[in-house]
Amino acid sequence: MENENGNRHEIGNGKVDGRMTGNGLMKIQTNGKGNKKNGNGICHDDSSLPVRAQTIDELHSLQKKRSAPTTPSKGFQLNSTFATMSEEDRQRQQLQSISVKGQQQLNEEVSTREIDGLTTSSTQQQDPLFSISASLASSARETGPKVVRGDPSRAPKHVPHHPVIPTISVSDSSLKFTHVFYNLSPAELYEQAIKHEKGSFITSTGALATLSGAKTGRAPRDKRVVRDATTDSELWWGKGSPNIEMDEHTFMVNRERAVDYLNSLDKVFVNDQFLNWDPENRIKVRIVSARAYHSLFMHNMCIRPTPEELENFGTPDFTIYNAGQFPCNRYTHYMTSSTSIDLNLARREMVILGTQYAGEMKKGLFSVMHYLMPKRQILSLHSGCNMGKNGDVALFFGLSGTGKTTLSTDHNRYLIGDDEHCWSDNGVSNIEGGCYAKTIDLSREKEPDIWNAIKFGTVLENVVFDEHNRDVDFTDKSVTENTRAAYPIEYIPNAKIPCVGPQPKNVILLACDAFGVLPPVSRLNLAQTMYHFISGYTALVAGTVDGVKEPTATFSACFGAAFIMMHPTKYAAMLADKMHKYGATGWLVNTGWSGGRYGVGSRIKLQYTRKIIDAIHSGSLLNANYKKTEVFGLEIPSEIEGVPSDILDPINAWPDKDAYKETLVKLGGLFRSNFEVFTDYQIGEDNKLTEEIAAAGPIF
Ligand X SMILES: Nc1ncnc2c1ncn2[C@@H]1O[C@H](COP(=O)(O)OP(=O)(O)OP(=O)(O)O)[C@@H](O)[C@H]1O
Ligand Y SMILES: O=C([O-])CC(=O)C(=O)O
Paired strand residues for 226: 246
What residues numbered 353-392 form the site for ligand Y, per CB under 6 A?
A: 359, 363
Catalytic residue among 112, 135, 216, 400: 400
Positions in the binding site for ligand X (CB under 6 A): 398, 400-407, 419, 436-438, 440, 591, 603-604, 606, 609
Catalytic residue among 162, 382, 496, 523: 382
CB of 610 to ligand Y, least distance (A): 21
Q: Which of 419, 432, 614, 692 binds ligand Y (CB under 6 A)?
A: 419
Residue among 602, 697, 692 at smallest CA distance from 647: 602
398 binds, among ligand X, ligand Y, Mn ion, none (CB under 5 to 8 A by kind): ligand X
Catalytic residue among 44, 286, 330, 363: 363
How many other β-carbons are positioned within 10 Å of the β-carbon of residue 125?
A: 9
- Label residue 324 exposed, middle or buried (CB < 10 Å: 0-12, 13-18, 19+): buried
The answer to whether residue 419 is catalytic is yes
Residue among 312, 159, 340, 359 at smallest CA distance from 256: 340
What order do you get walking across the sheet with 64-65 strand by strand? Answer: 64-65, 464-466, 472-473
The answer to whether residue 404 is catalytic is yes
Strand, helix or coil for residue 280: helix
Q: Which of 151, 278, 419, 635 binds Mn ion (CB under 5 A)?
A: 419
Give the distance from CA 276 to its chain's centroid: 16
DSSP secondary structure letters along 258-297: HHHHHHHSSEEEEEEEEE-S-GGG-EEEEEEES-HHHHHH
244 binds, among ligand Y, Mn ion, ligand X, none (CB under 5 to 8 A by kind): none
The answer to whether residue 363 is catalytic is yes
Residue among 280, 298, 219 at smallest CA distance from 562: 219
Give the distance from CA 190 to its chain's centroid: 21
Q: Which of 7, 21, 30, 47 binds ligand Y (CB under 6 A)?
A: 47
Q: Kindly provide the residue ranges of all beta strands, DSSP E only, lying in 96-188, ordered along the sequence.
A: 146-149, 177-182
The answer to whether residue 221 is catalytic is no
Region near Mn ion per CB under 5 A, out of 9-17, 48-56, 341-349, 416-424: 416-424
Region near Ca ion per CB under 5 A, out of 107-115, 169-177, 268-276, 398-406: 398-406
The answer to whether residue 603 is catalytic is no
CB of 371 to Mn ion, least distance (A): 18
What residues numbered 9-28 form the site for ligand Y, per CB under 6 A?
A: none
Q: CA 44, CA 41: separation in Å to the nearest integer?
A: 10
Buried b (16+ CB within 10 A) or exposed e, 374-383: beeebbbbbb
Catalytic residue among 404, 421, 597, 617: 404
Amino acid letter, residue 57: D
Asked if 361 and 343 touch (Cβ cutoff 8 Å), the reply is no
CB of 364 to ligand X, least distance (A): 15
What residues numbered 174-233 form the site for ligand Y, per CB under 6 A?
A: 217-218
Give me the 405-444 binding string for Ca ion, x by CB under 5 A, dash otherwise: x-------------x-------------------------
CB of 106 to ligand X, least distance (A): 37
CB of 352 to Mn ion, least distance (A): 18
Length of the chain, in residues? 700
The answer to whether residue 400 is catalytic is yes
Asked if 277 and 430 touch (Cβ cutoff 8 Å), the reply is yes
Residue 432 within binding range of Mn ion, rule CB under 5 A: no
CB neighbour list of residue 433: distance below 8 Å, 6 or more residues apart: 273, 274, 300, 301, 302, 303, 304, 488, 489, 499
Residues that bind ligand Y (CB under 6 A): 47, 217-218, 359, 363, 400, 419, 436
Residues that bind Ca ion (CB under 5 A): 404-405, 419
Q: Which positions are annotated as active-site residues?
A: 218, 363, 382, 400, 404-405, 419, 484
Residues that bind Mn ion (CB under 5 A): 419
